[in-house]
């Protein structure tokens, strides 16, 4: 027998301008997504600035653990691309999240969404 234990939203955001890749903005965005999803944060977001000789551009990875699972961001400013991963063990309003992102990012962004039902076999 299989049981759905949550959903995983994979959200790709394209065509962002540089101002949306600043640490302060990303922190604000992840905190607002916690509120929009009516989740409960566990601790503060983890923020890592990523760069290396192999990947000379500077991007950020953010992770907010929530009681219901997690919300994560990974940025590629050189491609004007933001990857968002939301995994929740409770029901979330997908359209509300997308409406919020479109309004908050307030420009010509393209958003692609994939929803995966997370299941376990018992």
Catalytic residue numbers?
A: 69, 74, 89
- Burial bucket for residue 120 (CB in 10 Å: 0-12, 13-18, 19+): exposed
User: Residue 69: which residues within 8 A CB-CB, separation 6 or more?
Assistant: 6, 87, 88, 89
- State how far the Cα of 34 lies from the Cα of 64, in Å rounded to an integer: 8
Place of tokens 């983890």: 46
- State how far the Cα of 91 lies from the Cα of 95, in Å rounded to an integer: 12
Within the chain, where are the H helices? Answer: 23-36, 94-105
């Amino acid at each position: 027998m299989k049981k759905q234990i949550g959903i995983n939203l994979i959200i790709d955001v394209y065509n962002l301008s540089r101002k949306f890749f600043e640490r302060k903005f990303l922190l604000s965005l992840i905190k607002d997504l916690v509120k929009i999803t009516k989740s409960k944060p566990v601790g503060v977001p983890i923020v890592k600035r990523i760069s290396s000789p192999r990947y000379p551009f500077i991007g950020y990875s953010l992770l907010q653990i929530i009681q219901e699972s997690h919300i994560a961001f990974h940025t590629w400013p050189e491609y004007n691309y933001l990857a968002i991963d939301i995994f929740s063990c409770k029901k979330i309003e997908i359209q509300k999240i997308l409406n919020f992102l479109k309004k908050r990012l307030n420009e010509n962004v393209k958003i692609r969404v994939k929803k995966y039902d997370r299941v376990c076999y018992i």
